[in-house]
Amino acid sequence: MGQKGLDVLLIDDTVLILQRLKSLFAEIKQVKRTEAVTSAEEALVLLKRYQPDIMVLDINMPGMNGIEMLRTLGMSQMIKPIVIMLTNTTFAGYRDECMRLGADYFLDKSRDFMLIPSIVQNIQERNWLLNN
């Protein structure tokens, strides 16, 4: 994480959700830069040159889904961002699998969207404590 703020990567196949997330992150003072893509495949390409501190990931997407992407990230030994799963697919089996694969948070799009700013603040504070 850079001293001036957090870098974020948003991954969701619904453009409206991406727009809402971008607007939300634009209002969070701890966020320095936000990138958004509509597929896990695009995200994996972007991750070769962009190492976000936070990644917001949907589960249900065409092609590679969010769970498969988590599995791929785990196998690649990449520098691991904080992963926030943000999904409409919230049953316990998916939650448990995402957490087992390294997700840090599992949020319901319809209910937990506005928890994101406080999560980001907590991440920033934790990073600050670790680096000072």
What is the reported pLDDT for 2? 46
pLDDT tens, the chain, 132 aa long:
445 789 999 999 999 999 999 999 999 998 999 999 999 999 999 998 999 999 999 999 999 999 999 999 887 665 689 999 999 988 899 999 999 999 999 999 999 989 999 999 888 877 766 665
* Planar angle of CA 31, 24, 34, nearest 5 degrees: 40
What is the reported pLDDT for 90? 85
What is the reported pLDDT for 78? 59
What is the reported pLDDT for 132? 59
CATH number of 6-131: 3.40.50.2300
Residues written for the chain:
132
Hey, what amino acid is at 3?
Q
Task: Report phi then psi at 12, rounded to 5.
Answer: -160, 140
Dihedral sign of CA atoms 22, 24, 26, 30 in order: negative
What is the reported pLDDT for 131? 67
The two tokens of residue 33 are: 């830069």
Residue 126, C-beta contacts closer than 8 angstroms, at least 6 positions apart: none
What is the reported pLDDT for 80? 80
The two tokens of residue 58 are: 């949907």
Entry pTM: 0.91
